Amino acid sequence: MVARAAYHVNRMPITIATLEDAAVELNRRAAVATPVDARRAHKAAAERETNPLARYVLNSLVDNAELAIVDDRPMCGDTGLPRYYVKVGNAAQVEGGFAAFEHTLRKAVALATQAVKLRSNRVHPLTRRNPGNNVGVFAPNIDYRFHPVGDWIDITAVHKGGLFGSDYRMLFPGDGIGGIKRFVVDTIAAFHRRGLACPPAIVGVGIGGTKDQSFTLSKEACCLRLVGDRHPDPTVAQLEDELLDLCNSTQMGVMGLKSQTAVVDVHCEIAYTHTGGLPVGVSELCTAVRRSTVRLFNDGRIEFREDPLWFDAYMRREGVDFPNDAAGLMPAASPARQEVN
């Protein structure tokens, strides 16, 4: 009986009241405060820019991001589409279960639309009916992953803007890395040339998996990794560096101006794929980098942070088993991560 009492004490659920308050605040932070890694990247881009007009606009981006924080207002008039990425520790518990959890995340978007003054962007795709609260069928998107240890839930809110800048293609295995590079650069050039993007962007490239996986990975890669972060697989990391140089060689930068910085970073994720194909997805996160993460513990603690810590060794595991080694479960240390945390 004593052991059972201790078991219950250690596994208190995350309360709905705590979750609701945290989720509304999370959406406020995402809309208002551009993360430090993105602000640093935009500042660095302004400092190295040689086109005076592009430098002027890049500096305006930096000023705008800082003023939004001071004024506590959304950093772009188009506040994007609120969505959530949720990582659940294996020992996490929620009052009312995960149906109550989802209900609360949806309610928080409606509350934040009023409280933070998010633009009500979500409409019925055919009738264009606008409920006015950014909540509707499959809206907000909520994506889940799981973690083998932890009495916590990580919630990352992303308010992704940018209607364009994304594409998908099924390449052949023989197209190889050269074909991937060509597709990525063609995509960036096509959208930036037509003004259908707000550069400088963060590009995500999903390589392999199934068709839908490659595109999902591309979106997660651009939204959920810090600028400067590199994939732990050296082959993938090298491709990230090469794609960054290639994308910037287009010189299609901020406001359509000639610029050294078309993109501030390129993040690639891979998934094992069909032997007969090479699906590739490309997504761009516009200059409005809007994400914020909170960790809710079973015992009531709440920790807000800027690094989503989404991709980790467990998520990228190979094979059936994963060594139950806590050190191996976390993302590899990178200069980008050390600077922000």
- Write out the residues near ligand SF4 by the rule CB under 6 A: 76, 78, 80, 161-162, 198, 286-288
Other beta carbons within 10 Å of 214? 26
Q: Decide if 187 contacts 247 (C-beta within 8 A).
A: no
For the bound state, the minimum distance from the C-beta of residue 295 to ligand SF4, rounded and expressed in Å, comes to 26
For the bound state, the minimum distance from the C-beta of residue 119 to ligand SF4, rounded and expressed in Å, comes to 10
Q: What backbone torsions phi and psi does residue 303 show, to the nearest 5 degrees?
A: -130, 115
The residue with its CB nearest to ligand SF4 is 161
Residue type, 326: A
User: Can you tell me the distance from the alpha carbon of 284 to that of 135, in angstroms, rounded to the nearest whole number?
Assistant: 24
Between 78 and 339, CB nearer to ligand SF4? 78
For the bound state, the minimum distance from the C-beta of residue 198 to ligand SF4, rounded and expressed in Å, comes to 3
Between 119 and 316, CB nearer to ligand SF4? 119
For the bound state, the minimum distance from the C-beta of residue 220 to ligand SF4, rounded and expressed in Å, comes to 18
Between 247 and 296, CB nearer to ligand SF4? 247
Between 98 and 164, CB nearer to ligand SF4? 164
Reported in sequence order, the residue ranges of 152-262 that DSSP labels E, i.e. its strands, are 152-160, 167-171, 201-208
Residue 52 is encoded by which pair of tokens? 């005076």
Q: How many residues can be counted in the chain?
A: 341
Q: What backbone torsions phi and psi does residue 160 show, to the nearest 5 degrees?
A: -85, 125
CA distances from 258 to 51, 200, 247, 255, 277 (A): 7, 11, 13, 9, 36
For the bound state, the minimum distance from the C-beta of residue 118 to ligand SF4, rounded and expressed in Å, comes to 12
Between 202 and 266, CB nearer to ligand SF4? 202
User: Can you tell me the distance from the alpha carbon of 22 to that of 153, in angstroms, rounded to the nearest whole number?
Assistant: 12
For the bound state, the minimum distance from the C-beta of residue 310 to ligand SF4, rounded and expressed in Å, comes to 21
Between 80 and 308, CB nearer to ligand SF4? 80
